[in-house]
Amino acid sequence: MVREPLHDMIAGRIAAQIRAGAWAPGDRLPPERVLCRDLDVSRATLRQALGDLEQRQLVTREQGRGTFVAAAAGSADRARGSATDGTAAPGPAASGGSATGRLRDRVILVTGSTGIAAAGARRFVAEGARVFVTSRTAEHCARLAAELSQAGADAAFAVAELTDEGQVEEAIDAAVARFGRLDGLFGVAGGSGRQFGDGPLHEVTLDGWKQTLELNLTTQFLVARAALRRMLGQDLTAAGTRGALLLVGSVLARQPVPELFATHAYAAAKGAIEALVTTTAAFYAPHAIRVNAVTPGLVATPMSARAAADPVTVAFAARKQPLAGGLLLPDEIARAAVYLLSDESRQVTGQVLAVDGGWSVAGAAPIREGRGGA
């Protein structure tokens, strides 16, 4: 078997992270010493990989500084497509030939503005939706909304700290004021709690527990509550529905991997989302409002950059997610979201759909010591 040159493999891994949104166009890549450490390669190999990416127009060199900045995929890279790493992501108007207008004229609120959230927003507008984006990061919100608008979509945004009740209400008000109604919620915003002190339960600090649940569960509660309040007062659509909520959980709530992902507050928050979906779906079904969840496996997003840079975790993902052969792309989750927010699923509520590349059914994969991810 012919082995792929190391610098090509490293180039593919960096390209996958760029396309998945780990670094947006204009963002500076980490210093060479950091990339070398995280990718476990020599500086010479890294520079070969970056040189290849520069030829493919995925990165550019800053004059006089020798650093690299992520750029939009250029024509040369698009021509190569997925021949190297299979990670090309569609733009807002490029739906992989599958757009059928399933969300035409629907108004979808997306929480979060990178990774899965950004992929969802792009996929929704490709299916004809009007999209309102909200997250706490003004730069990311503005950039995503501008990208969607420049592609011809009807998109707007509001910057909001989604753990703040007042700011959430203002953001939902802004969405309804802009578009007149709210047909769907794609609740993605959340993140790792490691920075707060999340980890194995006996090591989790009380502050780390509270902040991790606030980021991953309170945000979902506040946004879902605000969306439901608006939907309850809306007229039925032609399909007989008032709205649909889709919250994002995690495969780790039911399929833990303690060797790599021992973040128990995060898992508890994601498990609570599943319980919230089940109980609210039962209550709001008579009101013609559907509530579902999607639970991704390990996805190439900014949150998983730590895992994507760890060879042990990447090798584990290749075995544990055999359909993907590695980390999933955010657009795979977005495609499922289109179904669950469209009339195609109008008889589906209270369901938790795993989009995990086979994680939940694959056998236990041997693990060597690694840093892990969430």
Could you list the active site residues? 266
Q: 61 with 67: CB under 8 angstroms? A: yes
- Tell me the helices (H) and strands (E) count for the chain, helix number first: 13, 9
Pairing outcome for strands 59-61 and 68-70: antiparallel
| Residue in 155, 31, 98, 36 with CA at minimum distance from that of residue 331 | 98
Q: 271 with 344: CB under 8 angstroms? A: no
In angstroms, the Cα distances linking 346 to 84, 128, 370 are 39, 18, 43
The span from the CA of 315 to the CA of 126, in Å, is 33
Q: 316 with 370: CB under 8 angstroms? A: yes
- According to DSSP, the residues that pair with 31 across neighbouring strands are none
The span from the CA of 354 to the CA of 324, in Å, is 14
Query: Which amino acid is it at 171?
Result: A
Exposed, middle or buried, 227 (CB in 10 Å: 0-12/13-18/19+)?
buried
The span from the CA of 328 to the CA of 357, in Å, is 7
In the block, tokens 């990718």 appear at 39
Q: Which two tokens stand for residue 53?
A: 């990416």
> Whats the size of the chain, residue-wise?
374
Handedness of CA 103, 106, 107, 108 (dihedral sign): negative
